[in-house]
Amino acid sequence: MGMTITEKILAAHAGKKKVAPGDLINAKVDLVLGNDITAPVAIKEFSKIGVNRVFDQEKIALVPDHFTPNKDIKSAEQVKILREFARRYGIANYFEVGEMGVEHCLLPEKGLVLPGDLVIGADSHTCTYGALGAFSTGVGSTDMAAGMAIGEAWFKVPESIKFNYYGKLPRWVGGKDLILFTIGKIGVDGALYQSMEFTGETIDNLSMEGRFTMANMAIEAGGKNGIFAVDAKTREYVASRAKRSYTVYASDPDAVYNKVYEWDVSKLEPQIAFPHLPENTKPLSECGNVSIDQSIIGSCTNGRIEDLREAAQVLKGHKVNSNVRLIVIPGTQDIWRQAMREGLFEIFLDAGAAVSTPTCGPCLGGHMGILAKGERAVATTNRNFVGRMGHPESEVYLAGPAVAAASAIAGKLAGPGEVGVK
């Protein structure tokens, strides 16, 4: 029997010719990632190991992005721990205010993750890099500490599920809608500790931004990782960014999958995940009259340039509803600069939005948009658990950028067509 992409990457990094689901392996890692919430714990554990250097100064990335720019004394102290560790051990890839970004937008942009890589990160959305044909997954802070010390991690090889999408996506429907639709179908534990492999003609035509969005939310279905085959779009994306060679892996025709799903998405509507789970999805036409107080466009899920362009297309010539706060957060400094050059900020500001420096901010109830009791937000983020964006009696509705922008105009959940945008 053949192997899947995920199995081939794990086998190569474990020094084996073949692995199978259920195998326990030790594998060498290409990158270890931490942020301002998880890395301080890892650094504390690292100090207990008894080593005086990291395994590779070029293969560790520290990105303080969750509560930055520092919102209070505690967050400032967290970032100080990262900064001092990076200086002490000569960590090459330390990115702070002024050059940082939301970690899962930043690392691919910097060329730090490439096809065929094995990446661990002390953040659950590390699975984002599967869009590049890499195996990437979230780990605990103790695993991060060990990874920084020895450059290895242990894994149980996951089973794989294939998701085959076909048909041309309708206008205003993209990667966010595909993954919300998928999670709605299989549930938040539908891919528990399994590899989610996304394929089909719809995926072939999906942008890299859309693929990053889908891989990012594999964890919301319980997935160990999400992954895409490397194609011409992938190669074009990494061509100007890669500073080292990489290896492309492809699933064998006789690879074994635990399940295979096939969906015709040619008539898919924009999808909305209602509180308080990403699986609680509905097509826009079935959402009813749900008023909102806030709209967030950004995060590691939808803070890339395509997302901002889509939002700007909807907002151009319109005003944000007087009862709504619209906050736009570009994912990185380069995305921020590109949006500025393209005139997108003018559109956002003319509409009445606030534009933030890159930060995770409100996604996890950090800052820059906390919800009060009883408030509702539509957000392009990835989680809508109880209290995720603030008060435990607030509500978060997950959607794509077009719906988030249209809803800000309408003052309620709405699509572009409802505010006169074709």
Angle ∠(364,130,181) on CA atoms, nearest 5: 65
- Look at the alpha carbons of 263, 181, 382, 352 in this order and tell me if their dihedral is positive or negative: positive
Which tokens hold the place of 16?
Answer: 């084996």
DSSP 8-state assignment for residue 301: H
78: nearest Cα among 392, 360, 266, 286: 360
Give residue 134's Cα distance to chain centre. 14
35: nearest Cα among 65, 4, 77: 65
CATH 3.30.499.10 domain position(s) in the chain = 5-262, 272-415
Residue 47, Ramachandran bin (φ over 0: left; ψ between -120 and 50: alpha; else beta): alpha
Distance CA 222, CA 196 (A): 10
Q: What is the pLDDT along the chain (422 residues), one digit of tens a residue?
A: 899 999 999 999 999 999 999 999 999 999 999 999 999 999 999 999 989 999 999 999 999 999 989 999 999 999 999 999 999 999 999 999 888 899 999 999 999 999 999 999 999 999 999 999 999 999 999 999 999 999 999 999 999 999 999 999 999 999 999 999 999 999 999 999 999 999 999 999 999 999 999 999 999 999 999 999 999 999 999 999 998 999 999 999 999 999 999 999 999 999 999 999 999 999 999 999 999 999 999 999 999 999 999 999 999 999 999 999 999 999 999 999 999 999 999 999 999 999 999 999 888 888 889 999 999 999 999 999 988 989 999 999 999 999 999 999 999 999 999 888 88
- Reduce the DSSP state of residue 114 to 3 states and report it: coil
- Spell out the CATH class of 5-262: alpha beta
From the number of C-beta atoms within 10 Å of its C-beta (0-12, 13-18, 19+), residue 254 rates as exposed
Q: Measure the N-to-C terminal CA separation of the chain; round to a whole number of Å.
A: 49
pTM attached to this predicted model: 0.95
Which tokens hold the place of 290?
Answer: 């749900």
Distance CA 171, CA 356 (A): 28
**Confidence (pLDDT) at 139:** 95
CB 154 within 8 A of CB 25: yes
In this structure, CATH architecture of domain 272-415: 2-Layer Sandwich (3.30)
